[in-house]
Structure 1
Amino acid sequence: MRFPTRLLAAHSYFALLLFAAYVVVVAVIAVGVDVFGTLNRSAWEAAVQLPRWYALFVGVALIREYLPLYLAHGQTRRQFGAQAAVTIALFAPFLSALITVGYLLETLLYGLAGRPQVIDRVHLFTEPTQVPLVFAEYLVEFVAWIVAGAFIAAGFYRWQGGGLLLIPVGVGLWILVEGAIGKELRLPFIGDRLSGLSADLPQSTGLALGVGLGVFVFGLAATWAIIRDVPLRNR
């Protein structure tokens, strides 16, 4: 089994298909809002909350599904750990690039329709056409969500129910990254109740990238500490 190239290609292809379908769904919703109401802000900005959860479950799948599969086919844990890091390092920017393209497509469509593409949340960017800043922001977010997913999944794989104890750490990684970006802390069913936990960090692209790199290194190191000698489980 060729890893990580085959795994990376499969996930990238699937993400591309999901992206195409998601763009169509968001476009249909935006048209509906324009027909039956007032379309005066970016629909894509709201829609990109969901891909973060996809990134989280990619991280979970790396450990829960692919770790035992590749160990059973002759990979060592060290080989898997190193190549999983490569997969995350390449897949996160791929997802970020898709999100950036989505903003640009929306800019084009809103321009043709004569609608304002207003961004009403805090970001590293102020306009959706600021491609490097858009890419940097979502790169940092996707790195944090994938790494958090892998870290939490490693805890559940090794200790089963004991993995619950690692969830606050995974959430902490996300809070740190969101604080560096300057975003409000919002999750489904929780809303802004986590806002009081937000890290009070000065907002800058350099700091956000530095925090993202730190989360990437810490998260992978912590995940490796859990899986380095984990027994292969029968499911």
Structure 2
Amino acid sequence: MVQKNNVQCSIRPYRASDRDPVISLFRFGILEHVYPAFFKAMCHKDHVGIALSISMAGYVLGGSSYCMALLFGGAWAALVYYCCHEIYDSYLSRKLDMEMADIQGSFLDNPVNNFWVAEAEIDGQIKVAGLLAVVGMKCGPMNDMNDGWNGGAVDVASLEGSAGEVFKLVVSFPLRRKGIGTQLTEKAVEFCKEQGLSRLVIETTSAQVAAIALFRKLGFIQTSSHSSTHANRWISKLARINVLRMEKFL
């Protein structure tokens, strides 16, 4: 059902002239999750207990100093924030150096991949309002299927029993909750069906609450979750970021 607050947008394949706004939107779409991940991690009971214990240690070692209590507690919060930032920032750097360095070659020149942008009116001008890319891949064990958060490897040598994976979905902040994300996802579903792919897969992190809700609304189901990322294990552990795998069977 089409929502009343949907905006008119045009979805088309990526063009070279889109590079700057697409890279800017892609960067924002990754790094915006640092703060939600940080606050989610700090609200975990283990981190709350550690923060209180460290603050108390600072209070005692500082000779009943509230300043030292705040300093010690702040140091722990800063460490957790660093871990959250490192996971998303290093993922961003990896993707900018790999797939996003040559969007045409990585996506549009490969018949089982694609990259779309959504154009809509922003502040009176037609601008890139969203993006979504799909990578075709051969189905197999979860850790061998992609080069996403868990650092697996893509295998598109055979399309038999294959799937498409959403590389990234980002919508400009002012135009969220207006149907653009839904339209982009439906475009990806249509493309995968045309390619004869059996399912559409998305890997997202637990901090991306809105994205998880959108994919569930569109018929995706969670098939697995894990805490392994491309970052060091202790960084992933402190950040408490889970990677959720969701699939829609076509």
TM-score range, shorter chain: under 0.3
TM-score, normalised on structure 1? 0.26
Q: Which protein has the bigger strand share?
A: 2
| Structure number with larger C-alpha Rg | 2
